[in-house]
Amino acid sequence: MKTKPHLTDIELFKKLNEQSELRAYQDWQIIYSVQKNAGTKSETIAQILGISQSKIYRVIQLYNKFGVNWRIYGKWGGRRDARCHMSFEEESQILAKVSESALTGKILIYKHIKDIIETKIGKTVSDDYIWDLFKRHGWKKKVPRPSHPKADMEKQEEYKKTSNKFWQPNI
């Protein structure tokens, strides 16, 4: 296993010590160890560093392919702007406009918000995208309490007026 000479040993050591993130430090430590100990088996380096062999292979492969800026391409998970329909700020602007209309007395339904977003983007989005958008911005689903279809409000009000304020057991 070899690394391409993108950096010298001294430059690589400086890059290693510049890292503030733990994962970034570990990744640069792998590159430094492989470059400094050329010819050493990946099994040995994995045991010394306490990581898996596949991690070593993946890091070295990305470093050899992309060079010094390899960590830009090696990120896992999270919200990637290249695949997002809109930025977080654009989403919050749309939700701010919608919440203004809600304050005037209109009822918000996710389908209305979905229609607004689809017209802005120019393509359809899934229902999950809308619910994830609500979660990202701290919105919650709030609905009125259910009522029985046969409930009579007049009888309920009458009962409230004629009932005892305190319950007392029969002794």
pLDDT of residue 115: 93
| Element housing 111 (H / E) | helix 110-121
Nearest of 34, 60, 59 to residue 48 by alpha carbon: 34
C-alpha 7/C-alpha 90 separation (Å) is 40
pLDDT of residue 52: 94
Q: Which residues contact 24 (CB under 8 A, 6 or more apart)?
A: 71
| Sequence-separated contacts (24+) of 100-109 with Cβ below 8 Å | none
Helices 88-103, 127-136: axis angle to 10 degrees equals 90
C-alpha 51/C-alpha 45 separation (Å) is 8
pLDDT of residue 80: 57
| 17: its two tokens | 């010590």
pLDDT of residue 82: 60
C-alpha 99/C-alpha 106 separation (Å) is 9
| 150: its two tokens | 């046969």
Report residues of the chain scoring pLDDT below 50.
Answer: none
Q: Which residues contact 49 (CB under 8 A, 6 or more apart)?
A: 26, 29, 30, 33, 56
